Amino acid sequence: MTEAKNPLAEVRERIDSIDRQIQELISERARWAQEVARVKGEGLSAIDYYRPEREAHVLRMVVDRNKGPLSDAEMVRLFREIMSSCLAQEEPLKVGYLGPEGTFSEQAVRKHFGHAAYGLPLGSIEEVFQEVAAGHADFGVVPVENSGQGMIQVTLDMFLTSDARICGEVELRVHQCLHSQSGRLEDIKRVYAHAQSLQQCKTWLRVNLPDAERIAVGSNAEAARLARHADDAGAIAGETAGKVYGLKTVAKAIEDRADNTTRFLVIGRSLFPPSGNDRTSLLITVNDKPGALYDVLSPFARHGVSMNRIESRPAHTGKWQYAFFIDVSGHIDDEPLQAALRDMGPVATQVRVLGSYPVALP
C-alpha cells in the first residue's frame, strides 16, 4: 500500500537524515578533541589544551564559509557551543566574571566560552583578577570599555599592579531605545531604566524629556515590564526587549554615542601564538617630560603599526611617571611591532606586553 506523502513529512525526513549526519560528525569531532588531549599528555584539564588563537581561527573560517541562511553571529554561536562541549569533556574551563548571574558580563562569558564552561560569578573586578592570578579561575572576563562612557578605569588600573595577560576580547553591541505603551513622547512623565542606561542616554533625555522623572531599576527588562503597566511611563531597553514586552518604540538609538558597544577583555596567565588577525595591548611607562608621548608613539608610525586606542593613567610606580595603555594591530611576534618596540627602548621606562589576542568575532 503506497500513500502520497505530505510535503511536511518529506521535509522532516530530510531533516532527520541531516541530523543523523550532524550528530555523527559532532561525535567524531569530540573524539578528535580527545586525541588533541592525548597528543599533549594524558589527564589534562581544559586549560592545558585550550588555545584561543586556534578557536579564533576556526571561527573565522566559519564566518568566511557562511553563506546563510543563518547569520554569521548565529553560526559562530553554534560552533562556539560545539567547541565548548568538545573542550569540556575532561575538566571544563573555569571562567571568573563580575557577578551576579544574568548580567552583561555573564553574556560575554557565554558568548566567548559557550555554555559548557563553568562560570564563576565574583564580587568585583579586582576579585576576577585575583582569582585568575591564584589559579582558582582559568580565565576571567572583565569589562574594559563602553563606547558611551569610555574606558573602565578600575580594569585598566588592575593591569598596573597585576601580572594578568590579555587572551581575548569580546564585544556586545546594544542599541538603547525608548519604549512606551502609546509610543508617544508627550505621554512620558517617568523613565525607567538600569542606572547605567540612564547614564548612557542622559544627553538625549535632557534634550527630549527634560522634565521626566528618571527612575533607576534593577535591569532594563524590569524597566520594560514596569512601563507596560503605566500609560505615563517610558522604559529604556534594547530593541528586542521592547518588542518582547509588546511596547511601542518612541525613539531608537538614543544613547549619547550611537555605537553602543561594551568591550570585555579575557584575562589569563599566559601569552598565546598568533591567530592571523590579532590585536596587541601594551602598557608603556614614560617619564613626564616634554615630548615623551610623541617619542613613544612615533616608532609605531615609522614601522607602519596602526594604533587602535590610547589611554593615559598616572603610573603607580613613580610620582612623575605616566602609563599609557596602547592597543595596536597585529601580534607581538610580528616583525613591524617588534621593530617599533626596539626603537622605543631608550624612551620608555617600561614596556609591558599585556597580551596579543584574536580580534573580537561577531
32 near a second copy (CB under 8 A)? yes
31 binds a second copy (CB under 8 A): yes
Q: Closest Cα partner for 191 from 258, 251, 105? A: 251
Range list of H helices, the chain: 7-40, 46-49, 52-65, 72-87, 104-113, 125-133, 153-161, 195-200, 202-208, 220-228, 239-244, 292-302, 335-344
- Using CA atoms, how far apart are residues 310 and 9, in angstroms rounded to an integer? 59
Interface pick for a second copy out of 45, 72, 121, 190 (rule CB under 8 A): 121
Q: Which of 46, 50, 53, 94 binds a second copy (CB under 8 A)?
A: 94
Q: Which is nearer to a second copy, 4 or 207 (CB)?
A: 4
Stretches 82-90, 140-148, 157-165, 329-337: which one binds a second copy (CB under 8 A)?
A: 82-90
Residue from 8, 186, 207, 346 in contact with a second copy (CB under 8 A): 8
27 scored as a contact of a second copy (CB under 8 A)? yes
In what side-by-side order are the strands of the sheet with 278-287? 307-314, 321-329, 278-287, 350-358
Which cell numbers hold the place of 233?
Answer: 511611563
Return the residue of 46, 120, 283, 326 that touches a second copy, per CB under 8 A. 120
- CA torsion 34→37→42→44, rounded to 10°? -110
Single-letter amino acid code for the residue at 249: T
Is residue 4 involved in binding a second copy (CB under 8 A)?
A: no
Closest distance of CB 190 from a second copy, Å = 18
Closest approach, Cβ 214 to a second copy, in A, equals 21
Q: Does 276 bind a second copy (CB under 8 A)?
A: no
Span near a second copy by CB under 8 A; candidates 113-121, 207-215, 263-271, 275-283: 113-121
Identify residues 45-74 at the interface with a second copy (CB under 8 A): 54, 58, 61-62, 65-70, 74
Long-range contacts of the stretch 21-26 (C-beta < 8 A, 24+):
26/82, 26/85
**DSSP notation for 261-315:** EEEEEEEESS-----SSEEEEEEEEEES-TTHHHHHHHHHHHTTPPEEEEEEEE-
Q: Which of 171, 187, 222, 295 binds a second copy (CB under 8 A)?
A: 222
Q: List the one residue from 5, 48, 136, 333 that touches a second copy (CB under 8 A).
A: 136
Is 11 an interacting residue with respect to a second copy (CB under 8 A)? yes
Residues 232 to 251 in contact with a second copy, rule: CB under 8 A: 240, 243-246
Does 175 sit near a second copy (CB under 8 A)? no
State the binding string over 328-357 for a second copy (x if CB under 8 A, else -): ------------------------------
Give me the count of residues in the chain.
362
- How many Å is the maximal CA-CA distance in the chain? 93
The nearer residue to a second copy, 173 or 206, going by C-beta atoms, is 173
* Rounded-to-integer distance, Cα 360 and Cα 151, Å: 17
Task: Choose among 117, 119, 116, 114: nearest CA to 97.
Answer: 119
